[in-house]
Structure 1
């Protein structure tokens, strides 16, 4: 029967697990950066749309009650 915790004598057996963990950490970081960049682009686009709406209304604020 194999023991519950297995600590190998040959420390090279840790390498695949460490590389896999590192790969997933890098992937998670890159995914997070993609979401941040997309969010910034969306905020900039919405700011531009809001300015266009304000210019069309001729006021300094957006009137949402006119819908």
Structure 2
């Protein structure tokens, strides 16, 4: 119980709510970067999956590695 009370003493809730604006802006920016990075990783993964499937098909058909 004491640890919870101690943790709440470090919280800061400003009376002037405009102090939240920079935090919200940076949150939005980093969230957008995270989202676009995720999309980029998915595109790269799809390309690699396609290449792997093509290689697998070639190996099945020919039995040797080019």
**TM-score normalised by structure 2 residue count:** 0.70
Unaligned runs of 5+ in 2: 1-8
Structure ranking higher on relative contact order (CA contacts 8 Å, 6+ apart)? 1
Unaligned runs of 5+ in 1: 63-67
The yes-or-no answer on 1:51 pairing with 2:57 is yes
Higher helix proportion: 2
Rounded to whole Å, the distance in 2 between the matches of 1:4 and 1:53 is 61
Alpha-carbon RMSD across the aligned residues, in angstroms, is 1.8
1:22 to 12, 28, 38: 28
**TM-score normalised by structure 1 residue count:** 0.70
Query: Structure 1 stretches (4+) deviating beyond 6 angstroms?
Result: none
Q: State the number of aligned residues.
A: 56
